[in-house]
Each structure stands twice: as structure tokens, then as C-alpha cells.
Amino acid sequence: MQNDVTSLQGSAARRPTTMKVFLRRKSTVAFFLALPLIILVTALVIYPALFSMYLATLNKSMERFVGLDNFVFLFKRETFWMVVKQSCLFAVTAVLFKAAIGFMLAHFVHTIPAKGQRKWRGMLLIPWVIPPAMSTLGWFWLFDPTYSALNWIFVRIGMDPVNWLGDPFWARFSVILVNVWYGAPFFLIMYLAALKSVPEQLFEAASIDGANWWQKIWYITLPMMRNIISITVLFSLIVTFSNFDIVRILTSGGPVDQTHVFATWAFNLGIQGNDIPLGASVSLFMLPILGIAAIFILRGVNKRGNEA
Amino acid sequence: MALNMKFSRRRLLAGAASASALSLTSPFIRTAHAAGNLSIGFWDHWVPGANDSLTKLCKEWGEKEKVNVKIDYITSQGSKLQLTAVAEAQAKSGHDILQLTSWDAPNQAKNLVPMDDIVNAAIKKNGNTTDVVQYLGKVNGSWIGVPATNGSQVKGPCGRMDLLAKHAGLDVVKMYPGVNGKPDKALQDQWTWDAFLSAAEKCHKGGNPFGLGLGQTTDSVDWVGALFAAYGAVLVDAKGNITVNSDATKQVLEYMQRLVKVIPADVFAWDDASNNKYLISGQGSLIMNPPSAWAVAVRDNLKVAEQCWTFPSPKGPKGRFAPGLPYFWGTWKWSKNISAAKSLLAHLSDRDSIEKMVIGSGGYDIPGYSNLRDFKTWAEVGPPVGVSYNYPPRGEEIVSIAAAPAPVAIAQQIYAQATMTKMIAKCTQGGDSVAKAIGWASSELEGFMRT
């Protein structure tokens, strides 16, 4: 009897406690490893997002709950719809050009022998690694209303100077151009990584079958890169839609609001105009647009993942 | 006798509330007990060295009052000063004293400690405040901030004496001489917005146009605001009625249709640095700006600086309006050292302190009090000596801010959205008719009426 009790006690001591089991689980370890990031994301993303949703439901003096009245008000404003149109034009055009230029550059870099490739990769990444506020200031000097360096060249070669930031068309062109210049290297690096993962044998087989370069791109490269293209476009669309610094530094939304995007107009209304709830409502308007885009794009990615 | 004291929760709260109310409403008495720490957020001055004068004043006061003073100079570039005010108001935490831009003072009124004791005492010593300072600094009859000297400015014309004389035959020094000169009253009376347009046309013809921004930043909005005020063109009146559709507004827009033809085509994209660069480069014959442009010209292009002269704005049918931009010093209700903050603000509102700030800024700063327009700096600073003598508004000049006299909440929207310069852009560069530009503004103004 004594022996039985001792052996029972011994086995209980050897058996791990529930807490130990819990702590040893892979999912628990993963959770604790991710905890610092979860805290950061909660503090810097989730809390501000929820707070801005709360702000968007208040009246101008932030003393009264008004539900969705701020959105109803915005929908009646002509300027708001102009900003919606401009934001879409800005984001879609910029992302298309960034994707196209990034794709071409990735192919160009991919064809360079490995020895010299690093230099080219480094040089082409420069626009992306310079803080955008700083590089945009450089662009501002090129486009400066009165002392534009580009116009100086134009005049010297007999061309008329361009009113880069004062004319609505050229102002929109300028902000999109700077965004493309800044963002194309991101596409380049992502596409280059994707290109390197395409098996070389596929191209060799296609060459034996007599495929030309276009057929290789259309039937091999693009299908193999579809997922990375989708995710890159989605990511860039989100970042471009919420762009602030380029427009703010180059035009501040002018002339006559014709280069405002959601973020700059929200700042203008919320901070400079002291209507924080309305500014929060403008910035939140991006959420459903990007949410819908994300659903469609990620659904495509998942579908292709399952097929694979 | 048994002492029967029973503390209920209600009694405790009532006691605490009375104590708080007493501390907020009791008059400020400068005592030796004003000690501890004091954190301050001041505007980072454009003029090199101007911050040093202010730091010195605060440190001297801190040593005398045994208060540890910590100053942050916050730039207004990228609206950082405004952002700081909004962030501190949201967080209910931050500096004990924060410098507030023109519109932030009334906007934050409910969060600020009333400053009637400090400002009323300063008014007794320094004379009354200007109308624009009262418009922005007094809410429901109470001062919510102390008129700040550092950064407060007006944006009258700064012209090139040589070019204005050569192209337009305008002797600005005869019209508005320095301290020892005798002003030509007849010439001053002729200095109207029509004369301004005529001079602009002549200078354009001569190859040195006026550099007048029509963008969406403060320099553009301020001078256009003074033009509107001079013609009596009020977008929204003091009662909050939309009054933009008036003959006065049409008159201003038609005036601008003529003026836009003789100023650079890219003015719609100008920011607050563009007009300065235009003058300093030697191209422009006149800009509307504080003497900071001249101060930079002294450093970068002395030949231009030597020909600069600052003088009052032209006159319109409703008077001679100086585009003003006053700043304020405010203390949050949650400040931990309100007593010390008030003591320092009282010190900074002394004539001697104000004069030191004006000297430190090379005459850039304009005190908010009417009797403080006689400092030697404005008469002595140069070259040319007397360049800033006529910079502080005196006599018939009315200091105003664009969008006044609309209720502040509406006026700030008009100012921040640059409604006036956009109206001009629409009926000039945009090709719209004057009526269409006014119609557009009416619709915008309706949107600003939200509460």
C-alpha cells in the first residue's frame, strides 16, 4: 500500500502540470514571440484606427455624437467628390506606372550578369531608400514655380517653360511622376525576386518549342508571377492611396484643391481647419475602398494558391 | 465639545471643485512661491537669433523666481505648431505654456486658462490691443491667451525704392519717410488699391512685376484678405450670414482679373517662400511680407536689401487695412504650474521684455498693444536705415485678418481653405465668370457653417 502511494506520488510529480503543457505548446511560444509586435500594432494601428472611427462620429466641436452625419455631409460636398476622383486617379495611375516600370526594370536587371547586378540593384533602389520628404523637396526645386531647374533647361533649348505646380494638369502630372519615381524600385525588387524563382528550364523548354520573348513573358513569366504581382499591387495601392508627403510638399493640394488626395484634404480640414471629426471621416473613407480591393485581390491569390 | 466631522463623498467633491474654481478665478499675485518646473513650447522664429532673446528673458525670470524653465522651439513649417496644439489638447498633457497660432487660440478656448488678469494689467501699461488681437484672443468676453510678441506680424508692402521710382514714378520714401522725415500726406492719400494696380502694370511693363502670391498659404491669404477688407467685401458677416454675393466682392474679383495679368503666371503655386525669393533675386519690385525677406536679402543680396522699403498697405473704399497675423501664449487648464506660467507671461508682457523681443527679431515682431509702436529698432534698423520704420501699423491703418469679422469657427475654415484666393484663381486662371466664382464660394461657405 505504502509503495502504491509513493509510486502514485512519483508519477504525479513527473507528469507536467497544465501550465507547463500550455507553455510548451508551439502556438503559445508563437504567441509570446509575436506579442511585442501585437502590442505595437495595437498601440500604433488598431487604437488610432478605432479612435478615428470614434472621432468621425462626433460633431465639429467634438461634444456630441452625430452618428454618420459627417459622412452624409461629405457626400453632399462637391469638393469631396473631386478629392475622391483625384485620389483614385492618383493611386491607380501611379500604381500602374510603378508596376509597368518595375516590371521592365526587373527584367533589365535580371538579364545583367550576376557580377554586375548588385551595383545596378543598389542604384535603382536609391529613390526608395531616400526619405520621401527629402527627395520630394529636391523635386520641388526642379518644379519650383519661378526658378524651376527643368524650365531653365527648357528655355535654353528653345522650349516654353512649364507651369509645373500652378497648372492643374501639370500639377497632377508632377505629383504622380514623383510618386512613380519613388515607388517603382519597390516593384523592381519584388518582381526581381519573383523572376529569380521562375525555373530556368521552363524558358529553355519554351525556346526549344520556338517561343519568342513575348510568348515567354505572356505564357511563363506572367503566370508564374501572378501572385506576387497581385500582392505588390495591393500593397502599393494601399500605400499610394494614403500618400501625404508628396502632395503636401509639392502642391499642398493646389491649385484650387485640384491635387488634393484623401490624406492631404483630411489634414487640411482636420488640423488646419480645426474640424477633426470631418478630417477623420475623410481619412476613413479610404477604408471601404481599400477593403473591397483587398478582398478581390486576396481572393484571387487564395484561389490560385489552392489550385497549385 | 466633540468635533463631529463626517466626510461624505459629496462633501469631498464639492470641496475639491471649490478649490479648483478658486485657483482658476482668483487674481494672479506674483509671489515668491511661484516655483517648480515650467515647460514652454514657443514658435521657432524665422529670424536668426530671435529665439535667443526670448530664451534669455525666460531664463532671467526663472532664476529670479526659482523656477526651472525648459523651452522647446517648435517650427510652424508643415503646421507642426498647430499639430502640437491639437495633440496636446487631445492628450490633455504637454507644455505649461504653448504658443498658439492666430486661429488656435480661440479654437482651444475651452481648454485654456483665462488670462484676463495678465492681459488687462498689460493693457493698462501698454495701451489697448488691436482689433484683430481682440477678435482672436477674447472669447465670450474673456482673454483666453496673452498676445504674443514673438511671431506676431503684419504683411504690408516691401518694395524696391529704385524700381518703383523708375517704372512707376512712385517715391515711397517721400510718401512714408523714416523717423526724421516729414510724411507727404497728399501722396499717402493717393496710395490706394487703384494706384497699386497702376504701379503693378507699370512695373510689369518695365520688366520687374510685383510678386503677389495667390496660392493657399498664409502669405497669399493674408494680403488678399486685406484687399477684400479694403473694399468691404465680406464673405460671412459677424452674425454668421453668408454675404459673399455682394457688389464689393464683384469689384474685388474684377480688380483681381486686371491685376493677375501683370503679375507672374505661376503665382497660383506660390508658397510662403516664393515671394521672398522673388524679391531677393532682384526680379520683383514689390511683395507683401514682413521684413524677413529684407533680412535674408541683407545676407544674400545686399544690393537688393539696400533698395528695400517697407510701408503701409494701399487704401480702399473702406479704409487702409494691414494684413495681420497675431500669435498668442496660452496655458492649458491641466498645466501643473499655472501660477508660474502666469508669472512668466506677465513678465513677457512688460514693455522692456517686449522691446527686447522686438530688438532680437530685428523689428519683425509686432506687439499686440497700440502704445508699443515707438521702439528705436524700427527707426534704426538697416540698410537702408529706416527700412522698417513704417512696418508697425500706426495712424489710420487697421490691422485685420482675412475672413474677419465672421465668427471664428467659420472664419478659420475660410482662412484654412483659402476660399478668397481660390475664388480669384477660379475667375482668372480657371476661366470662370465672376458670378460663377461667387456661386462656388457660396456653396463652400454653406459647408463651413457646420457646428
A8 and A119 assigned to the same domain = no
- Those residues with Cβ within 8 angstroms of residue B228's Cβ, 6 or more apart along the chain or in another chain: B234, B235, B248, B249, B252, B402, B420
Report, as an integer, the average pLDDT of A214-230: 90
CATH number (domain holding residue A189): 1.10.3720.10
Q: Do A136 and A32 belong together in one domain?
A: no
**At A201, which helix (H) or strand (E)?**
helix A200-208
Q: Do B412 and A274 touch (CB under 8 A)?
A: yes
Among B276, B450, B451, most A C-beta atoms within 10 A, so best to mutate, is B450
Same domain, yes or no: A16 and A114: no
In a domain, A225, yes or no: yes
Distance CA(A163)–CA(A142), nearest Å, equals 12
Please check whether residue A211 is in contact with residue A205, taking contact to mean a CB–CB distance below 8 angstroms.
Answer: no
Range with lowest mean pLDDT among A4-13, B141-150, B196-205, B336-345:
A4-13
Residue A239 lies in a domain: yes
Put simply, whether A272 touches B (Cβ < 8 Å) is yes
Q: How far apart are CA B393 and CA B371, in angstroms?
A: 11
State pTM to two decimals.
Answer: 0.84
CA A80, B228, A250, B82 dihedral sign is negative
Does residue A22 sit in the same domain as residue A159? no
Asked if residue A39 is part of any domain, the answer here is yes
Do A135 and A208 sit in the same domain of this protein? Answer: yes
- Among A55, A82, A99, identify where a domain stops: A55
Query: For B50-94, what is each residue's pLDDT tens digit?
Result: 999 999 999 999 999 999 999 999 998 888 999 999 999 999 999
Question: What is the C-alpha to C-alpha distance for residues B388 and B308, in angstroms, rounded to an integer?
Answer: 9
Residue B283 has pLDDT above 90, yes or no: yes
- ipTM higher than the 0.85 cut: no
Q: Which of B136, B268, B436 to mutate to test the interface with A (most CBs of A within 10 A)?
A: B268
Query: Residue A124, SS3?
Result: helix
Could you tell me if A80 and A23 lie in one domain?
no
Determine contact, residues B147/B121, Cβ cutoff 8 Å.
no
What are the tens digits of pLDDT across the range A135-185? 999 999 999 878 899 999 999 999 999 999 989 999 999 999 999 999 999
Q: Closest partner residue to A60 among B103, B278, B450, by Cβ?
A: B450
Examine the domain organization and report whether A82 and A49 are in the same domain.
Answer: no
Residue B16 Cα distances to A23, A244, B12, B13, B119, angstroms: 49, 46, 6, 5, 28
Q: How many domains does chain A have?
A: 2
- Chain length of chain B: 451
Q: Which of residues 142-171 of A touch B (CB under 8 A)?
A: 144-147, 163-166, 171
Distance between CA atoms of residues A198 and A228, nearest Å: 12
A120 in the same domain as A7 = no
Alpha-carbon span B47 to A270, nearest angstrom: 29
Is residue B451 within 8 Å of residue A60, measured between CB atoms? yes
Q: Do A7 and A77 have their domain in common?
A: no
Instruction: Identify whether A130 is part of a domain.
Output: yes
CB B228 within 8 A of CB B234: yes
A139 CB neighbours in chain B (<8 A) are: none
Whether B9 has a pLDDT exceeding 70, the answer reads no
Tell me whether residues B82 and A272 touch, CB distance under 8 A: yes
Beta-carbon contacts below 8 Å between A and B: 90
A77 vs B447: CB contact, 8 Å cut-off?
yes
Instruction: Return d(Cα B46, Cα B27) in angstroms, integer.
Output: 35
Assess whether A175 and A224 both reside in one domain: yes
- Could you tell me if residue A65 is inside a domain? no
Query: Does A62 map to a domain?
Result: no
Residue A60 lies in a domain: no
Question: Do A74 and A46 have their domain in common?
Answer: no
Strand partners, B39: B70
Task: Determine contact, residues A77/A165, Cβ cutoff 8 Å.
Answer: no
Chain B residue with minimum CA distance to A265: B417
Residue-range definition of the domain harbouring residue A27: 1-55
Mean pLDDT for the stretch of residues A97-116: 90
Phi-psi region of B140 (alpha: psi -120 to 50; beta: other; left: phi over 0): left
The string over B360-383, giving b where at least 16 C-beta atoms fall within 10 Å of a residue's C-beta and e elsewhere, is: bbbbbbbbbbbebeebebbbebbe
B113: its cell numbers: 486658462
Q: Do A49 and A133 fall within a single domain? A: no
* Preceding omega of A255 cis (within 30 degrees of 0): yes
Tell me if B215 and A79 make a contact (CB, 8 A cut-off).
Answer: no
Q: Does A33 map to a domain?
A: yes
Rounded to 5°, the CA angle B279-B159-B203 comes to 85
